[in-house]
A and B are shown apart, each in its own frame.
Chain A
Amino acid sequence: MVNAIYAMKNYPIMMVNAFVSPLAFLIVLTLVSRGALFGVAVIGGLIMALTSSGLSLQGDLVHFKVDFKLQDMVVSSPTTAFIYLFGMAISELIYYLPGIAVLLAMAFINLKFGLFPTLQVTGAMILMFVLATALGFMLSTHISDIMESWAVTGVVSILLSTIPPVYYPITYIPLPYRYAAYLSPTTYAAQIAQQAMGYIHFPQVTIDIDWIVLIGVSVVLLLISVKKTRWREI
């Protein structure tokens, strides 16, 4: 965790990056849709910020492991894999915190919805964060080269952030293609959030299924991550 604070203290550009990246999409989308999609984009930005922090965790961990042998040093110390994961995830989150704070502020000022939708949106966001982080951590322990890590990031981020309709309502995608979006857990999170805010109107059953799928996928991915994490090399 201190790592991130030290990083920002010593490299202010990281702070700027933390503000800029989630906001860029938001601005583009709001302009393109002439404000109509502002709410979707704000919430989409939040979900994306949390998901990408999990993805960039993978890249950072590979970098630390390969270039600095940090994983070796941590393995041979009282620090457990879980504490390492937890600390690094929090520190990764800190990078995104400024952006998240701005998005949250915007959401509070501009969007009005009740307690229950807020809880739903928050729940979906937290699930995505946990899922992406665990996945990123597991992948990082298997990757032995930073180039490989970039490739993996490319593939996973297409799955988690390019395909899914996070920044616009899912109904914008014509039907046969819409099924492709359901390959990504992010889609379910976005759908839950968009429904909660009233941007889309699916039958309640669909949303219930979304929750089941999202939680199910998260649990499965978490289990895979825990089982397949290669803490000690072979």
Chain B
Amino acid sequence: MNGRLECNSIIKQYKDGRTALKSVTFDIKLSGIFALIGRNGAGKTTLVRILATELLPTSGMASLDGNDIIRDAKNVREIMAIVPQEARPIQWMTPRQTIISSLLWRGFGYGDSRKRADDVLDQFGLTGYKDKPNRFLSGGIKRKMLVATALASEARIIFLDEPTTGLDPISRKELWDVLNEQKKKRFIFLTTHYLEEAEALADSIGILENGELLAIGTMEELRSKVRYPYTVRVNGGMDLTSIAGVVIQENGGYQQIMTSKEEAYSISKRLIQNGVTFSISPVSLNDIFFFFAKRRVDGEKE
């Protein structure tokens, strides 16, 4: 009972020899929202499944609130719920039946389950769909319904593997509101490809790349790790090599560079003189993500 999620040198090598996690270590508070970001195949789902006691790590250990995920799996399972990445609701049930039966499985009584189901459907704006068989629902509604199923329970720890994939922008915002409300009472561990989502929702963020945790912390902590506070985005090819900073993205159309306040000021003067269009903004999670991803690649080259 320490209110923390501790993960110590977790390594996962699948049967086919592929190493999905290369010694992941971190320690965060079990409250608010934690977002894990990373590219396809980075190992997010693998880590979530290990922490949610679905998959055995090859080595290393982890604990939730002081309960070891292997030895005390029973205790951990008592307090959690998950929506796996590829979960789908059972076709022939309705949303209401889906939620009620999942609550019955968790040990709620029928009356209690019904009430909770109706409440959560209402909270998610799904009341209009509650009695339609799931197979008639659109992909996004199904996704929302599964998240609602997990949140209908009493679980204090919720794992959501890419909860907003496939949601339209408005639904995504609605789900953010629900999660922001829910995080007051419980810990939500989510994975996402949408960096703005992590930035908008998460109290702390982890960047996973190729099985390695590149960085972890609050948005402020991550910002301070990259040292440069500004990103300059320059349209068109201009030689930026003389500038003190890090080029984080380059392609035919534009270049993006992270730099200090002073450099940002002098570049903008030069760019204006040369009539090149550009923009300056404070470093975003997007920039931080590319910064760490690029540093890893550069590091490998050396």
Binding site for B on A (CB under 8 A): 2-3, 6-7, 10-11, 64, 67-70, 72-80, 83-84, 87, 232-234
Contacts and interface: CB of A to CB of B under 8 A. Distances in A.
B90 interface: yes
Q: Which of B52, B55, B105 has most chain A Cβ within 10 Å?
A: B105
Interface string B89-112: 110111001001110111100000
Interface string B142-158: 00000000000101000
Contact of A72 (B73, B87, B133): B87
B80 interface: yes
A195 B230 CA distance: 88
Nearest to A7: B92
Nearest to A91: B101
B127 interface: no
A75 B52 CA distance: 8
A6 B54 CA distance: 27
Contacts of A87: 105
Contacts of A70: 90
A10 B54 contact: no
A78 B90 CA distance: 20
B90 A77 contact: no
B151 to A, nearest CB: 13
Nearest to A14: B92
Contacts of B24: none
Nearest to B57: A234
B149 to A, nearest CB: 8
B159 interface: yes
Contacts of B15: 234
B92 A76 contact: no
Contacts of B107: 78-79
Chain B interface size, as a band, is 35 or more
22 contacts: A10-B94, A68-B88, A72-B49, A72-B84, A73-B84, A73-B102, A75-B52, A75-B53, A76-B53, A76-B77, A76-B80, A76-B159, A77-B105, A77-B153, A78-B106, A79-B105, A79-B106, A232-B54, A232-B55, A233-B49, A233-B54, A234-B15
Nearest to B154: A78
A6 B92 contact: yes
Contact of B84 (A64, A69, A79, A83): A69
Contacts of A69: 84, 86-88
Interface in B9-42: 15
B100 A11 contact: no
B56 A78 contact: no
B92 A10 contact: yes
Contacts of B105: 74, 77, 79, 83-84, 87
B86 A77 contact: no
A68 B89 contact: yes
Contacts of A84: 105
Interface string B54-73: 11100000000000000001
B143 to A, nearest CB: 13
Nearest to B104: A2
B80 A2 contact: no
Contacts of B155: 77
B52 A68 contact: no
Contacts of A64: 90
A68 B83 CA distance: 10
B92 A11 contact: yes
A142 B100 CA distance: 28
A40 B61 CA distance: 57
B258 interface: no
B114 to A, nearest CB: 12
A64 B74 CA distance: 22
A84 B159 CA distance: 21
B77 A75 contact: yes
B257 to A, nearest CB: 42
Contacts of A77: 77, 80-82, 105-106, 153, 155
B78 interface: yes
* Shortest Cβ-Cβ A-B pairs, 9 listed: A76-B52, A69-B87, A69-B84, A76-B82, A72-B84, A10-B92, A78-B78, A2-B101, A6-B97
B226 to A, nearest CB: 35
Q: Which of A67, A72, A74 has most chain B Cβ within 10 Å?
A: A72
Given A77-B105, A232-B55, 4 more contacts: A3-B93, A73-B82, A73-B87, A83-B105
Nearest to B93: A6
Contacts of B80: 76-77
A94 B105 CA distance: 17
B19 to A, nearest CB: 15
A38 to B, nearest CB: 36
Contacts of B153: 77
A198 B293 CA distance: 78
A142 B94 CA distance: 29
Contacts of B102: 73
A76 B105 CA distance: 12
